[in-house]
């Protein structure tokens, strides 16, 4: 079922493991007899006894939601949104000067291209790692993206990166994936990407401040909004299923906040 719905191997592994733990905890109950209060009791148990955090609670709730919706249908299961993945705090965003500074300290061509493409395309980490040469359309200036659950979309290819991309291709001669790992023909590992991105972020004095490769994706969206691109277009570029996910970037706009004027101050005759 999970495979048919194009869930990743990691997600499948996690869901199966969480359900095994739940059934072991409620070993006196048959799976079909488990209801919401039993799941809540289990989540409260792992929080109290094992000190697990919000992310773990969300994973358990998601696993239960899937199992009792698709595998063993039940109307009494707690929705996963009752245990959100994280607090509703706004993500970090680089300003344009920080992006320029970040790119300027990178001498490694491959690393510079990866980081530039994160900012220039808005790709997720896994999407960048699995980006294929055949997905690059240099004539239409777009990138085909195989997103979450095999959902295809297109995003922007920055014109100013084409020369560096061609130079990189001539030097590295990648076979299938644009950014190969140590094994020829295999994609670069996401951990490797995370590692060097963090190195450069630290180099410009932003280490330990929640800046990461994903911050470049947030910056891509926020700066497009600043430039006047509409929210629905940005939703499609990012591959969001729900517009509410994209709406968070409205709170991050920098140029709009800088020029905000009270409607009272805009009155021609305000009594002065």
The yes-or-no answer on residue 214 being catalytic is yes
Q: Do 174 and 186 contact (CB within 8 A), yes or no?
A: no
* 124, 218, 223, 235: the active-site residue: 124
Residue 83 is a catalytic residue: no
Q: Of the listed 217, 218, 223, 235, which one is catalytic?
A: 217
249 is catalytic: yes
217 is catalytic: yes
Angle (CA) 179-183-187 rounded to 5° is 35
Give the closest residue to 152 by CA, choosing from 176, 172, 135.
135
Cβ distance 83 to 43 under 8 Å? yes
27-45 burial: b if 16+ Cβ within 10 Å, else e:
eeeeeeebebebbeebbee
* Burial label, 56 (beta-carbon count in 10 A; 0-12, 13-18, 19+): middle
Question: What count of other Cβ atoms lies within 10 Å of the Cβ of residue 163?
Answer: 9
Q: Which of 25, 69, 148, 153 is catalytic?
A: 148
Q: Give CA–CA dist 89/246, Å, rounded.
A: 14
Tokens of 126: 């896994």
**For the chain, where are the E strands, in sequence order?**
136-137, 142-146, 152-156
Q: How far apart are CA 163 and CA 176, in angstroms?
A: 19
Task: Pick the catalytic residue from 26, 132, 153, 214.
Answer: 214
**What Rg value do the Cα atoms of the chain yield, rounded?**
23
Annotated catalytic residues are 124, 148, 214, 217, 240, 249
């Amino acid at each position: 079922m999970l495979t048919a719905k194009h869930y990743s191997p990691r997600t499948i592994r996690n869901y199966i493991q969480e359900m095994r733990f739940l059934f072991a905890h409620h070993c006196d109950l048959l799976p079909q007899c488990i209801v919401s209060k039993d799941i809540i009791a289990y989540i409260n148990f792992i929080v109290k006894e094992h000190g697990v955090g919000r992310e773990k609670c969300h994973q358990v709730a998601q696993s239960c939601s899937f199992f009792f919706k698709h595998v063993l249908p039940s109307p009494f299961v707690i929705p996963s949104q009752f245990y959100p993945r994280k607090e509703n705090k706004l993500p970090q965003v680089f300003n344009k000067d920080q992006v320029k500074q970040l790119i300027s300290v990178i001498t490694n061509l491959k690393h510079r291209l990866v980081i530039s493409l994160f900012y220039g395309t808005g790709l997720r980490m896994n999407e960048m790692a699995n980006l294929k040469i055949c997905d690059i359309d240099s004539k239409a200036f777009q990138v085909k993206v195989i997103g979450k659950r095999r959902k295809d979309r297109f995003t922007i290819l920055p014109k100013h990166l084409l020369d560096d991309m061609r130079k990189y291709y001539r030097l590295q001669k990648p076979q299938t994936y644009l950014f190969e790992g140590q094994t020829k023909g295999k994609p670069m590992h996401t951990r490797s990407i995370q590692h060097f991105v963090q190195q450069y972020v630290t180099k410009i004095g932003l280490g330990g401040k929640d800046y990461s490769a994903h911050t470049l994706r947030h910056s891509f969206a926020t700066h497009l909004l600043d430039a006047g691109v509409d929210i629905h277009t940005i939703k499609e570029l990012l591959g969001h299923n729900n517009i509410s996910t994209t709406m968070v970037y409205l709170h991050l706009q920098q140029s709009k906040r800088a020029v905000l004027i009270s409607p009272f101050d805009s009155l021609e005759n305000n009594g002065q």
